[in-house]
Amino acid sequence: MEGPPRVLREAAAQFGVRLDDLLPLGGRSNQVFATERHVLRVTDVAVAQRETAASAAAAAVVPVPRVLDRLDFGPESVALLERMPGEPAWIPARLHPDRAWRRGAACARVHAVLTKILAPPEVPVVAVEGLEREDVTLLHLDLHPLNILLGDDDEVSAVLDWANAASGPSSLDRARTATILYLDPSVQAMKGDPSWNAFVAGWTQAAQLDRVPSPALAWAAGFMQRDLACRATVSTLEKLRRLRLRAEDVPYVDVASL
């Protein structure tokens, strides 16, 4: 298995973190490693600045990891973060459907509290035609079960990974989550799992993911097409195409029906 990237090894030495203690965490970037107490994350400098500013603003309403230190190496940055308590909101094959529903609903409440926060100037602005009347708030734009940790009481203990943070209409966060929970290729195999279905139902009902304005869903479909790049399946691309077409004709689209 490939070891930590060079810049992370250099940063770990300066942070006083032993390489032997670093374990890779999940995710597509393969740029996140952790010890029992810390997380080391490699990103572009611009992304690191955005994450730091966004998470600092969000800390007023949700628990987020503190940035303990950061080192820049040319265009790359390594952040030393505190490791937050809890576990990912969705735990395969370990949840009774009733508890899974409650955990989904707990995740949904993150959407509501983020609408109370103004985005800092360091994050980009997203404008979408048809949503001009919505409040402009801080957007996470990657709220899914791996980026929300829950404690033993099934309440949110951390919201992670602010790399996509932006400023824009609040419905964009709900639209982004709706497309992830229903259309991302990684969830297709779980659709027959009663616990997963209950988890998604809890999130959907509590955040009204089935009542997201069509312009927001059309935007989220385009976002997902770009985000998936080469790993999108033909079926997923077809569903995203249908979503964008249907969004042109009706005020709301139930993503679960695609």
Q: Is residue 1 part of a domain?
A: no
Residues 71 and 144 in one domain: no
Residues 46 and 143 in one domain: no
Whole-number average pLDDT of the chain: 93
For 138-195, the pLDDT digits (tens) are 999 999 999 999 999 999 999 999 999 999 999 999 999 999 999 998 888 888 899 9
Question: What pLDDT score does 87 carry?
Answer: 95
Q: At residue 4, does pLDDT exceed 80?
A: no
The residue from 82, 104, 125 where one domain ends is 82
Range of the domain at 146: 87-257
Residues 75 and 94 in one domain: no
Q: At residue 86, does pLDDT exceed 90?
A: yes
CATH number (domain holding residue 52): 3.30.200.20
| 3-state DSSP assignment of residue 136 | strand
For 26-68, the pLDDT digits (tens) are 655 558 999 999 999 999 999 999 999 999 999 999 999 999 9
Question: What pLDDT score does 98 carry?
Answer: 96
Residues 134 and 101 in one domain: yes
The residue from 82, 111, 127 where one domain ends is 82
Q: At residue 203, does pLDDT exceed 50?
A: yes
Q: At residue 110, does pLDDT exceed 80?
A: yes
Residues 231 and 124 in one domain: yes
Overall number of domains in the chain:
2
Query: From CA 157, how far away is CA 88, in angstroms rounded?
Result: 10
